[in-house]
Structure 1
Amino acid sequence: MTGRLVRLTWVQPEDLVGHELRQAVEDGRSGEVAAIAARWHAAGGHDAPPRAGASPEPPPPRLRALAVELLDELAAIPSPLPEPSDLDSIAAGAPGNSERRPSPGNAAGDGLRERLLGAWLGRAAGCVLGKPVEKIPREGIRRIAEATGNWPIRGWFTAAGLPDDVAARWPWNRRSAVNSLAENVDGVPEDDDLNFPLLALSLLERYGRDFTTADVAAIWLDELPAGRVFTAERVAYRNLLGGVEPPHTATRHNPFREWIGALIRADVYGWVNPGDPRTAAEFAWRDARLSHTANGVYGAMMVAAMCAWSLVAQSDDLASAVDEVVAAGLSVVPAESRLARAVRDAVADARSEPDFERVVDRLYERHGGLHWVHTINNAALIAAALTHGRGDFTASIAGAVAAGWDTDSAGATVGSIAGGLLGASGVPREWVLKNRLASSVGGFDGIGFDELTHRTLALGAQR
């Protein structure tokens, strides 16, 4: 009797080759890997699946063996780009800003509690808004929203009134539609974009502010179910189980090392370092290097720095506060990296173009060839949505989700930063979910945002 196949996503060698070949084009190795690509295709190898995590059928054994061989050959070819992954070299290429200091009284007491609660609430709201449309392209998201009277997006997605032909053409994310539509959302459903902040909180509580990358690995193995990680994290997890030591876990057969996974793990490192983007970025680097390199690491460092500054920026002029936050993020990453250039271009467009849809058009012109969960395109989108939103919470998270890349991740990060700027009282009530968060991370299922805020404050007080 033949059973159903288990096609574990994001780890099959025959799929990783296509992703690594695309990564090679992005990081300047296209000439060096052309012969390898030709060998792969001549043997019957396929390109990377465009949106799915695995091709539907396993290959012949000879093709899988060739895939493993080619992955090793590809790993031996270094990128020529000046995009380092070690902390000292990153710092040397980052512009920095020694004058960045929190305003007196802005990062203490009830004001900080209010801002932290806003950040937690905002992250949850942006994540849940993006969940049901994850993997749906930009065109489909707009069509769904228009068909249900929600364009421009100003509320949760809904299946109520959605025409059958639109629903068939653009099906909801099957795992999320059951708990993240207006008619069924009840508290905050589980999501990796929320699991990772909880894990970072647990990491800091267990190991303190001097935690190491090895500590990050240990808490993953102790508390994070392997089936709840994806892309670079799943490869790094597999590498850990195979006895690979960090930071080599980030590079062995890992073509996703510049994708968005490390970026979504960074918020807490900013929240426990309010007003201190450099330390926040260093914390994020220690975490990110377990699974990511280069721009994948820079995205995490940038977001941690932005989150740190969002808690202390003066909120009487929100547009200026957003500019400060973005500047704090750029201050900690190499100025000539692809990520920094993409963010600067996105911010310039967002400042000059009144129609955010045209801003997104330009993002697609520049970055449309990247995978929908790559760091560079999503980091640029995050900065653009914040800049164009000018402190308007709804406009900011809606812009991040409507763009159609990593909808729940970009929405969550934008919501976190906007919520940190505005504070809990500034997050519109229609976006505040029940004080209950589901999670598969040990000890956190059912936790409330009030407790999360209290625990985050306690960690920040240890500075």
Structure 2
Amino acid sequence: MAGKNSTPNPPGSFGEWLRQARRSRGLSLRALGAALQVHYVYLSQLERGVERPSEQMVHRLAAFFGHPDPHQLLLLAGKLPGPVREALQRLLQENSGGAQAVLRRLMGGEPAAMSRETVLAAWREEARRQWMFHIHDTVRALQELESYKDGGSDRPGSPDRGPAEQGPAQRVSAAPGLAERGSAAPALAEMEAMVREGQRYFDADEPGKLWRQIARIRHALRQHFGYATFAPLLGQGVAEDDASLIERMERLDEVQNPERPSSWEGLRRVVPAWPADEEQAVGRPAAAPPGLDLAEYRDRTLAGWLGKLIGGALGTPVEGWPAGKIAAEYAEIRGYLRPPDTFNDDTTYELAFLAAMERTGGNPTSIDLGLEWVERIPVACTAEEMALRNLQQGILPPLSAWLNNPYAEWIGAQMRGEVMGFVAPNQPERAAALAWRDARISHLREGMYGEVFNAVMVSLAYARKPLRELIEEALRFVPPRSLFARAVRETMAACEEARAQAHAQPPAQADQAWRQALAAVEDRWVKRYHWVHTLASIPAVIIGLWFGVGPGYYDSTAPRPSPGPDAREAFTRTITITTMCGGDADCTAGQAGAIAGVMLGSQAIGPEWRDPLGDVMESWVWGMERLRLEELVERTCRWGWPARAADKT
């Protein structure tokens, strides 16, 4: 996106050197890209100064062109050579973490890692600032409020003064709502105990735990004092606490949108397969899923995580691009567009979900999950950002999804639903219930349905069912008259028609049948909504899977489409077609890649996709910044297998 508006490289830049070196060898961008096994558009972006090369890429180019001094090229690229960087870092070891983070970023370290250090340093300092300048002051104000209530005639608003003479503190403390609850002293004692606990986290410099305590204190303040304080001023019918407020909001919403509910009871009313009992649905399985042994479960879960990471890395360079722009710039995508990494904010919430599973023994409530966000996630976007702000202010789920959140039907919930399927293999009710609990932190209606659908698709993918059957069964957990269900069904119909017509076309045209399906739904769904909206994004996932894995994969009653793709080709086509559909391509390709990975297994993911990623997931999740994939799979599979069997392994 930045390429068309970027300024030309200045003389003596790395991009200018690369262009001259390439031309001196008589190489086209495509030829050089083939030799280095990177996309030619990425090389074009390096030459134009749109992208900055990694240190590894600088050394590769220096070796390829025989440049005698790679350190000089690093300087041209705006990076410091390793020895210089290490020397400067040693000089600044005594400085604050924030200063070191900024220095490393300026020195051209890996962008994701450097940004992470900067973000985490700022998050830590903000927690300490909030604690010092807000929490103590708030509790002290409440203590003064209580002293006014119990004070003598020399206090503002003492009992021997008339209502007109009473000060605001006395009028508030004498409010009927608070009087019905009795003295505020027990609540203040609870606040003081919570503050003492938070001070320990402050003194120990544990920012995640400090943020969690800030949210807990603010939530308790809302329940004990907020509603009781304002009820007399606003009249009868005011909610008494967050629970009664959300109950009224959901009831009103379901009167206005009876076919698109967000509450558990509302979903039970309109969704054919919705579980009757929430607690029973989320319980850990008592027996292994039929037809799946533990080794295969681990392999497919690994493939699911790899598919998520690979799809995210593939789609990130074209995130937000429409399909037409991708086609004009890249024509066909068959591999990574730039050197990939595993850092993607889409996985942030899935790691927090695993942490909450571990904290609660596998049964986290929506509030448990929300507090895990507060403790571990420093920054977010769109609906997640609004929810995180609410959470930090003590507005816990599900109210966190409702207040100040215009993005509650965007893709943020759908993009994080895979992990609920990973921990519930072939257990669709459990996957749906866990996804619903997670979605309630930040999303409503169509946004919520996207996460439930994604989780159930992944869950059912362990069962080796044909794609068409997976989609139909997953739709049974979505309100049938919702816009989401309609978008999925219309996309399936477009895929069927395009595939049928492709049989009469030459192979080259038949291979592009997915474009016909996209064109059929583009105006109604893709272009009608913002590119981050759930309804604009789900068509790409369906199209990628339909023309990648194919609707008949695993179908023993019907032959696979001819010529039938092998598993590796099926995986590659799934993630590349999804990416070429455009829109929020890292989210959609990550979702399609995870589903295809679970369906096909790790052998379907070739080394050209897997090897460049390495074996570590990077994130900015506090306490989970670097996880080996082997550890990630173990921590995931622990919750999808019967307790005794999983604990023995």
The RMSD of aligned alpha carbons is: 2.3
Query: Contact 2:308/2:591 (CA < 8 Å) preserved in 1?
Result: yes
Q: Which residue of 2 aligns with 1:402?
A: 580
Q: 2:524 aligns with which of 366, 373, 382?
A: 366
Give the structure-2-normalised TM-score.
Answer: 0.51
Q: Which residue of 2 aligns with 1:155?
A: 335
Q: Show the 5 A alignment for 1:294-305.
A: 294-305=445-456
Q: Show the 5 A alignment for 1:35-184.
A: 78=253, 79-80=256-257, 82-96=259-273, 105-146=290-331, 151=332, 153-157=333-337, 181=338, 184=339
Give the structure-1-normalised TM-score.
Answer: 0.71
Q: Which residue of 2 aligns with 1:388?
A: 547
- 1:388 is displaced (CA, Å) by 2.4
Query: Contact 2:268/2:274 (CA < 8 Å) preserved in 1?
Result: no
Amino acid at match of 2:371: A
Counterpart CA distance in 2 for 1:80 and 1:454 is 41
Query: Contact 2:370/2:396 (CA < 8 Å) preserved in 1?
Result: no
Q: Show the 5 A alignment for 1:325-344.
A: 325-344=470-489
Q: 2:625 aligns with which of 445, 448, 460?
A: 445
Q: Which residue of 2 aligns with 1:203?
A: 356
Could you give the per-residue CA deviations for residues 116-175 of structure 1, whole angstroms, max 9, x where no partner exists? 1110111111100001111222222112212xxxx1x21111xxxxxxxxxxxxxxxxxx
Change (3 A) 1:107 1:97: farther
Could you give the per-residue CA deviations for residues 349-401 of structure 1, whole angstroms, max 9, x where no partner exists? 11221310111112212111101011122123212321222351111111211
Amino acid at match of 1:378: S
Counterpart CA distance in 2 for 1:135 and 1:97 is 34
- 1:462 is displaced (CA, Å) by 4.5
Counterpart CA distance in 2 for 1:268 and 1:462 is 17
- The residue matched to 1:460 in structure 2 has which SS? coil
Q: Which moved more, 1:237-246 or 1:258-267?
A: 237-246
5+ residue gaps, structure 1, are 1-74, 158-180, 315-320
Q: Which moved more, 1:136-145 or 1:333-342?
A: 136-145
Q: 2:397 aligns with which of 229, 238, 246?
A: 246
Could you give the per-residue CA deviations for residues 31-56 of structure 1, whole angstroms, max 9, x where no partner exists? xxxxxxxxxxxxxxxxxxxxxxxxxx
Query: Contact 1:313/1:325 (CA < 8 Å) preserved in 2?
Result: no
Q: 1:189 aligns with which of 342, 350, 360?
A: 342
Counterpart CA distance in 2 for 1:81 and 1:254 is 21
Greater relative contact order (Cα < 8 A, sep 6+): 1
Could you give the per-residue CA deviations for residues 23-77 of structure 1, whole angstroms, max 9, x where no partner exists? xxxxxxxxxxxxxxxxxxxxxxxxxxxxxxxxxxxxxxxxxxxxxxxxxxxx999
- 1:428 is displaced (CA, Å) by 2.5
Counterpart CA distance in 1 for 2:619 and 2:515 is 34
Q: Does 1:308 align with 2:459?
A: yes
Query: Contact 2:353/2:372 (CA < 8 Å) preserved in 1?
Result: no
Counterpart CA distance in 2 for 1:103 and 1:221 is 34
Amino acid at match of 1:324: E
Q: Which residue of 2 aligns with 1:24?
A: none
Query: Contact 2:259/2:482 (CA < 8 Å) preserved in 1?
Result: yes
- The residue matched to 2:639 in structure 1 has which SS? helix
- 1:323 is displaced (CA, Å) by 1.6
Q: Determine which structure has more spread, i.e. the larger CA radius of gyration.
A: 2
Q: Which residue of 2 aligns with 1:162?
A: none
Counterpart CA distance in 2 for 1:198 and 1:223 is 9
Q: Which residue of 2 aligns with 1:429?
A: 607
Amino acid at match of 2:620: S
- The residue matched to 1:307 in structure 2 has which SS? helix
Whichever structure has more helix as a proportion of its residues is: 2
Counterpart CA distance in 2 for 1:207 and 1:266 is 19
- The residue matched to 1:405 in structure 2 has which SS? coil
Q: Which residue of 1 aligns with 2:164?
A: none
Q: Which residue of 2 aligns with 1:20?
A: none
Change (3 A) 1:307 1:83: same
Counterpart CA distance in 2 for 1:245 and 1:424 is 38
Q: Does 1:323 align with 2:468?
A: yes
- The residue matched to 1:343 in structure 2 has which SS? helix
Q: Does 1:455 align with 2:635?
A: yes
Query: Contact 1:113/1:453 (CA < 8 Å) preserved in 2?
Result: yes
Amino acid at match of 1:358: Q
Q: 1:285 aligns with which of 412, 436, 448?
A: 436
- 1:195 is displaced (CA, Å) by 1.7
Query: Contact 2:528/2:536 (CA < 8 Å) preserved in 1?
Result: no
Query: Contact 2:371/2:391 (CA < 8 Å) preserved in 1?
Result: no
Q: Which residue of 1 aligns with 2:203?
A: none
Amino acid at match of 1:85: S
Q: Does 1:265 align with 2:408?
A: no
Change (3 A) 1:353 1:224: same
Q: Does 1:375 align with 2:573?
A: no
Amino acid at match of 1:428: G
Counterpart CA distance in 1 for 2:272 and 2:397 is 28
Counterpart CA distance in 1 for 2:481 and 2:571 is 30
Q: Which moved more, 1:255-264 or 1:87-96?
A: 87-96
- The residue matched to 1:353 in structure 2 has which SS? helix
Change (3 A) 1:103 1:400: farther
Counterpart CA distance in 1 for 2:268 and 2:591 is 23
Counterpart CA distance in 2 for 1:370 and 1:224 is 28
- 1:245 is displaced (CA, Å) by 3.1
Counterpart CA distance in 2 for 1:80 and 1:360 is 29
Q: Which residue of 1 aligns with 2:371?
A: 218
Q: Which residue of 2 aligns with 1:349?
A: 494
5+ residue gaps, structure 2, are 1-248, 276-284, 500-512, 551-569, 644-649
Query: Contact 2:431/2:459 (CA < 8 Å) preserved in 1?
Result: yes
- The residue matched to 1:190 in structure 2 has which SS? coil
